[in-house]
Structure 1
Amino acid sequence: MQKIVLCAFALLALAAAVPQEQEQAYILKQESNVNPDGYNFEFETSDGISRQEQGTLKQISEDQQALEVQGTYKYTAPDGLTYVVTFIANEHGYQPQEHIEQPGQ
């Protein structure tokens, strides 16, 4: 589980390393909790990116467990629109649902 959290943070760091013409963003909020049964984290940055995620161990058969992850992330794209993706990932795969926030929401 900790590897998953570390991978998520590594992907975020990789995305943040992409050269941008904008001002440098800073973290407004960051919280995380990892325990034997699962994890959760959330963060928000000054450039409008936010993410919250929780993962829990789920019993899928008598002798098999799987990690079920649910979460949401939000960002403003270069086109000026704010995209919100809500997702669940479990033994059935990654299932995202995307919508665009209208200005002023």
Structure 2
Amino acid sequence: MMKITLFALATLALVCAVPQDQPAAAGAAPVAIVKQDSEVNINGYNFDFETSDGTARQEQGEYKNDTDQQGLAVKGSYKYVAPDGQHISVTFVADKNGYQPTQHLFNEPAPGAAQP
């Protein structure tokens, strides 16, 4: 049980880590974290964050210890703007059946982009 908690904490730390010494792309404004929440306990974890460029992620992991499954069952989603300007949104489940993503594409302008 302790290994799962440590794994969840390590995963959360990696996901939430933002390099501070990376120079911004030429002419691009720095990206700021506008929302960040997390909670880790013996039964699982959850976190979510959002950045000023429209990138966001949320995830919940629950420890399962029953006849159907033993281990973490994770569900969540993330979204971002691809380099070509297309909005990508993915929802997923990761459990005893593996990682199961569902991708959605949106043709919306990026946050802060000029609209026609």
Same fold (TM over 0.5): yes
Q: Which runs of 5+ in 1 are unaligned?
A: none
Out of 53, 71, 74, the position equivalent to 2:76 is 71
Please provide the CA RMSD for this pair. 2.6
Deviation at 1:29, TM superposition (A): 0.3
1:93 alignment partner in structure 2: 98
1:6-51 Cα shifts (integer Å, max 9, x gaps): 2254256478987752321011000001111011000000011100
Structure with higher strand content: 1
State the TM-score, normalized to the length of structure 2.
0.74
Partner of residue 45, structure 1: 51
Instruction: Write the letter of the residue equivalent to 2:50.
Output: E
Q: Which amino acid aligns with 1:78?
A: P
Length-normalised TM-score, structure 1: 0.81
Residue 7 (structure 2) aligns with: 3
Superposition misfits of 4+ residues, deviation over 6 angstroms? 14-19
Who is 2:107 aligned against?
A: 102
Q: Report percent identity of matched pairs.
A: 44
CA contact (8 A) 1:60 1:66 kept: no
Q: Deviations over 1:35-68 (max 9, x none)?
A: 1101100000001110000000123428x62100
Deviation string, structure 1 residues 51-94 (Cα, Å, up to 9, x no partner): 000000123428x6210000000000110011001000011100
Larger Rg: 2
Question: Secondary structure at 2:88's aligned position in 1?
Answer: strand
| Structure 2: unaligned runs, 5 residues or longer | 110-116
Determine the C-alpha separation between the residues in 2 that align with 1:19 and 1:56: 37
In the alignment, is the contact (CA less than 8 A) between 2:45 and 2:61 conserved in 1? Answer: yes
Stretch moving more, 73-82 or 22-31: 22-31
Count of residues in correspondence between the two structures: 103
For residues 1-40 of structure 1, the aligned pairs below 5 Å read 1-11=5-15, 13=17, 21=25, 22-40=28-46
For the pair 1:59 / 2:68, whether they are aligned, the reply is no
Provide the rounded CA distance (Å) in 2 between the counterparts of 1:56 and 1:47. 29
